[in-house]
Structure 1
Amino acid sequence: MPYEVNKALKLCSHCTTELTNAVQGKCSSAHKSKTRPVPAPRQPPPLPPEQNYPKAIFHVTEYGAVADGETDSTSAFLKAWEAACDYTGSSTFFIPEGKFLLGPITFSGPCYKNQSPDVQIRGTLLAVPDLSAYPADDWIVFDNLQGFNLIGDPDEPTLDGQGGLDAWKQESCVQSANCNRLITSLKLYRVSNGTISDITVRNSKAFHVSFNNCDQMEMFNVNIKAPGDSPNTDGIHVHESSNINIVAAAIGVGDDCVSIGPGSFNISVSDIRCGPGHGISVGSLGKYKNEADVVGVLVRNCTMSNTQNGVRVKTLPGSSASTASNFTFEDIVMINVSNPIIIDQEYCPSGSCQDSGPSRVKISNMNFKNIRGTYNTPTGVSLFCSSGVPCENIHLADINMQFIKRETRDQGHFSVMGVVHGLEILTSSF
């Protein structure tokens, strides 16, 4: 009997095991049947295509500007600019025909998608004459813009600085190193990848056009006019800028037609008609401490008529150390010019440089080629180099200039002062 009981128990145990396994199998199957694969996350719906907004034109008159030459339209111009700058498509800031009076104004970026509106000027902009209206030294400023394009009307006086005796009588700016309220008419500041064309700028209170901290800019078909005796009225000034191309301009002013200041790199000036004025100059350099170098200047195919200088490099005595190198002046015509070719490292317009010591601006690799015409002072070529840092590698080739003899038998000649290392003169007559 014990055997049967044990056998029964074993059978029962076997059944229990099978039952348990069966139940577990069913549960496992049931559990497996309820398991679903984790679905992949849904992809977000595609963004709708960006709308192609039509190009919009923002007329300053629609924002309150009045073309009577008397009503101050500064506020209206700013409102129109802000609307054009914020527009979510291509835009044009448009100034129609007529005369618009403007006080100091800054057209600031960045604009939508970092792209500047185009600027079209068909009328005449008149600067407020009163110097006390200008808190800074600029009239019209375009600031922090990419892809900037300004086009004017070459047959109209586009920008009139309304300079006159009140602005130009500041003889202290010639006699002193400190000048205040010298108002530049058009300033491009931190502007890149753009063009300026077909504009006329006249009678600025000081500089007519300046490029400051700009890159990849071209200016062409420009007329700049001011009386020959209006001081400090440079035509175009370049400062701390690179890759600037100035082409096809007629400039007659009371100072440099084109001046290239410290920190300029790869500057090209071509097809310029200069006169009256002080010629085309690099400098003055060395006025301030720690000035950046000037490297790579090309001046070609220009005509100087009745100017005080032709092509010039000028530095101040006692300057901090810097370099001016790799300049080429070529294919230039001089007509009755006073100083056709001049390097002046003793430039001192304020008259207070006598005890400053020699200039520390290092001038090197200067090329003067195919320069011809007439001059009216005894010296055709003047190299006034620093006694502290010699000029190096000065090359003159194919210079053919004639001294206009007035009531004197003095012959034109070549003048050298300071120290020059590596002077070469080829096939030249002056």
Structure 2
Amino acid sequence: MAMKLIAPMAFLAMQLIIMAAAEDQSAQIMLDSVVEKYLRSNRSLRKVEHSRHDAINIFNVEKYGAVGDGKHDCTEAFSTAWQAACKKPSAMLLVPGNKKFVVNNLFFNGPCQPHFTFKVDGIIAAYQNPASWKNNRIWLQFAKLTGFTLMGKGVIDGQGKQWWAGQCKWVNGREICNDRDRPTAIKFDFSTGLIIQGLRLMNSPEFHLVFGNCEGVKIIGISITAPRDSPNTDGIDIFASKNFHLQKNTIGTGDDCVAIGTGSSNIVIEDLICGPGHGISIGSLGRENSRAEVSYVHVNGAKFIDTQNGLRIKTWQGGSGMASHIIYENVEMINSENPILINQFYCTSASACQNQRSAVQIQDVTYKNIRGTSATAAAIQLKCSDSMPCKDIKLSDISLKLTSGKIASCLNDNANGYFSGHVIPACKNLSPSAKRKESKSHKHPKTVMVENMGAYDKGNRTRILLGSRPPNCTNKCHGCSPCKAKLVIVHRIMPQEYYPQRWMCSCHGKIYHP
């Protein structure tokens, strides 16, 4: 009540002082003082009202039954709190700090009201025993969200240690790991305008943070950690998505720090610290004779420490499609194996993969200002297909030596391109000075994806198809209309792995065989 009276009382006092000011100039000092108090009281009043508004839209999981003792199952409480917060604009779902909440598999489904924030200040932990999980697919799944933020100073712990046990074995001198029966920790599907910021993700049973069919995503200042020998624990995986900006993240896991899969474009990675792990990978592409497309990837500023790979592009024999318009610059290698690697003979089977003529085309790839030390004799490896040689590979200002201080080597099989500045180690079959051949497309790194049916370069509007010819979907959707062709990403065992792509017929979100 006192706060409500401040404004009118202060206003009356101000009027009286103004009248007196005509008679006494000294009253001006009092006038200034009262005006300042009036404005300050109004600001305080607005802050009170604003804080009350914010409090209404904070949904603390504890108020919905969650117990942060690290023992009680909080799955139902988290689900109920999500459903309530999802309905309110500018809502915040809060996981309070200094507490540990154990949850099982959860599906956080949208659409939700605008400006929804999920703030994690405490610890969200999975069950340690795999037998206690509801399923082995995805632990925390988010879908159909727009303008959503996942942030905080807390931890999301996948408790993957027991999942990793016995998953890898050595066959014919190669380590083969089972990647089919362990869940991803966090996955976003069919979402736009996302921000992931400040969190620490750790110990996922398999991939930590995966995006499929997402657009306009910022990932800022997060850390992802798992032991060096934890199998397939990728940090960030991006599939069939576009317009991503990863900035100032620190990732050290048992597999790729960042992996960019088929159907992805306009991916920017800045100031990444990676290690341990398998580096930044584009691919693998073309698995099971599928068509793949990745374009406009820009890595600017990265440090690789004791990684198994650095900057890697990996494709399977027998695939088709293209990986193009890729720039790596301002990168430091510290005792990294395979600092620069293009491998068009990628194979993870126990026996050697069969040689095939078809391959994913790799072209327009730039490596600029890459420096540091290599743990392998060949610091640069360009292992390209003889039937589909790599095109327009550009090396500029490269300085890589062995960790021992000795001279490193470059292996170039079927890569055509150019070099400029000092390139150490030197690579054969590359021509000097490529300035006249520099791709103009780097100046306009924008690709437009249209209804998942392909990509267009903005410069000439040329369609870059992601699959074969679209089918005729007339009368193929069981009476549903409109029935349109749509490129979907499927896998015969695990549909959500986003590897091969197929043209299907689609109507109102449902998929039909043509």
What TM-score bracket applies, with the shorter chain setting the length?
0.7 to 0.9
Judged with a 3 Å threshold, the aligned counterparts in structure 2 of structure 1 residues 387 and 134 are, in CA distance, closer, same or farther, namely: farther
Q: For 2:359 and 2:138, locate their aligned partners in 1 and report how far apart those are by CA, in whole Å.
A: 31
Q: Distance in 1 between matches of 2:94 and 2:331?
A: 38
Equivalence for 1:83: 84
SS state at 2:163 partner = helix
- Which residue of structure 1 lines up, in the alignment, with residue 242 of structure 2? 242
Are 1:140 and 2:140 matched, yes or no? Answer: yes
Aligned to 1:414: 410
> Alpha-carbon deviation of 1:165?
3.9
2:458 alignment partner in structure 1: none
Conserved? CA contact 2:383–2:415, under 8 Å: no
Contact 1:168 1:231 in 2 (8 A): no
Whether contact under 8 Å (2:168, 2:177) holds in the other structure is no
Query: Residue 346 of structure 1 contacts residue 359 of structure 1 at CA under 8 Å; is this kept in 2?
Result: no
Q: 2-side partners of 1:335 and 1:184: how far apart?
A: 29
Matched, 1:122 2:118: no
Shift of 1:412: 1.6
Structure 1: state its 5+ residue gaps.
1-51
Alpha-carbon offset, residue 401 of structure 1: 1.3
Question: In the alignment, is the contact (CA less than 8 A) between 2:367 and 2:395 conserved in 1?
Answer: yes
Superposed CA RMSD: 2.1
The letter for the 2-side match of 1:401 is L
Q: CA offset at residue 376 of structure 1?
A: 1.9
Q: Which amino acid aligns with 2:159?
A: Q
The aligned amino acid for 1:414 is: C
Q: How far apart are 1:353 and its partner, in Å?
A: 4.5
Cα distance in 2, alignment partners of residues 59 and 370 from structure 1: 48
User: Match for residue 424 of structure 1?
Assistant: 419
> In the alignment, does 2:281 pair up with 1:281?
yes
Q: Is the 8 A contact 1:131 1:181 kept in 2?
A: no
Q: Residue in 1 aligned with 2:166? A: 169
User: How many Å apart are 1:124 and its aligned residue?
Assistant: 0.2
Deviation digits for residues 229-276 of structure 1 (CA, Å, limit 9, x no counterpart): 111011111111100111111111111111111111100111111111
CA deviation vs aligned residue, 1:319-345 (integer Å, no higher than 9, x gap): 2x1100000000000011111101011
Q: Secondary structure at the match of 2:81?
A: helix
Given the superposition, is the C-alpha separation of residues 168 and 235 from structure 1 closer, same or farther in structure 2, using an over 3 Å criterion?
farther
Q: Is the 1:110–1:116 Cα contact (8 Å) retained in structure 2?
A: no
Distance (Å, rounded) in 1 between the aligned partners of 2:162 and 2:63? 35
8 Å CA contact 1:134, 1:181 repeated in 2: no
Whichever residue aligns with residue 332 of structure 1, its letter is V
Q: CA deviation at 1:292?
A: 3.8
Is contact 2:128–2:162 with CA below 8 Å preserved after alignment? no
Q: Work out the CA distance in 2 between the residues paired with 1:289 and 1:402.
A: 37
Asked if structure 2 preserves the Cα contact closer than 8 Å seen for 1:209 and 1:235, the reply is yes
Q: Report the residue type matching 1:330 in the other structure.
A: E
Whether the 8 Å contact between 1:205 and 1:233 is mirrored in structure 2 is: yes
Q: How far, CA to CA, are the matches of 2:119 and 2:404 in structure 1?
A: 49
1:193 aligns to what? 193
- Cα pair distance change 1:275/1:359, threshold 3 Å: farther
* Partner residue, 2:376: 377
Q: C-alpha distance in 2, partners of 1:375/1:289?
A: 33
Contact 1:168 1:205 in 2 (8 A): no
**Is residue 278–residue 309 contact of structure 2 (8 Å, CA) maintained in 1?**
yes
Report what 1:31 is aligned to: none
Matched position secondary structure for 1:293: strand
Q: Which moved more, 1:74-83 or 1:397-406?
A: 397-406
Name the larger-Rg structure.
1
Q: TM-score, normalised by structure 2?
A: 0.68
Q: Per-residue deviation at 1:359?
A: 5.1
- Give the distance between the partners of 2:106 and 2:311, measured in 1 at CA: 34
Residue type of the alignment partner of 1:187 = K
Rounded to whole Å, the distance in 2 between the matches of 1:412 and 1:128 is 46
Shift of 1:184: 1.2
Partner of 1:367: 366
1:141-156, aligned counterparts within 5 Å? 141-153=141-153, 156=154
CA distance, structure 2, for counterparts of residue 175 and residue 318 of structure 1: 23
2:68 corresponding residue in structure 1:
67
Contact between 2:58 and 2:91, CA under 8 Å: does it hold in 1? yes
Q: Which residue of 2 aligns with 1:395?
A: 394
Q: How many angstroms apart in 1 are the aligned matches of 2:115 and 2:127?
A: 26
Q: Which moved more, 1:190-199 or 1:366-375?
A: 190-199
2:302 aligns with 302
Query: What secondary structure does 1:206 align onto?
Result: coil
Measured in 1, the distance between the counterparts of 2:162 and 2:128 equals 11
Partner of 2:227: 227
**1: CA distance between counterparts of 2:223 and 2:343?**
28
**What SS does the aligned partner of 2:204 have?**
coil
Q: Is the 8 A contact 2:222 2:249 kept in 1?
A: yes
Separation in 2, partners of 1:292, 1:348 = 16
| CA 1:168–1:315: 2 relative to 1, 3 Å | farther
Scaled by the length of structure 1, what TM-score is found?
A: 0.81
How many pairs does the alignment contain?
Answer: 368
Q: Structure 2 CA distance, aligned partners of 1:378 and 1:237?
A: 29
Give the Cα–Cα distance (whole angstroms) in 2 for the partners of residues 204 and 82 of structure 1. 25
Whole-Å Cα distance in 2 between the matches of residues 289 and 384 of structure 1? 19
Query: Aligned to 1:270, what secondary structure does the other structure show?
Result: strand
Which residue of 1 is the match for residue 327 of structure 2?
328
How far has the Cα of 1:128 moved from its partner? 1.5
Greater shift after overlay, 344-353 or 211-220?
344-353
Cα gap change, 1:236 to 1:429, in 2 (>3 Å): same
Separation of aligned partners in 2, 1:354 and 1:75: 46
Shift of 1:347: 1.1
Aligned residues with identical type, % of pairs: 37
Task: Give 3-state SS (helix, strand or coil) of 1:201's partner.
Answer: strand
More displaced, 380-389 or 168-177?
168-177
What's the offset of the Cα at 1:172?
Answer: 6.2
Which consecutive residues of structure 2, in runs of 5 or more, have no partner in the other structure? Answer: 1-49, 426-514
- Change beyond 3 A, Cα 1:356–1:70: farther
Query: In structure 1, what is the Cα distance between the partners aligned to 2:134 and 2:219?
Result: 26
Q: Contact 2:168–2:178 (CA<8 Å) still a contact in 1?
A: no
- Aligned residue type for 1:385: C
Please tell me whether the aligned partners of residues 68 and 99 of structure 1 are also in contact (alpha carbons under 8 angstroms).
Answer: yes
Distance 1:382 1:101, change over 3 A: same
2:191 match: secondary structure: strand
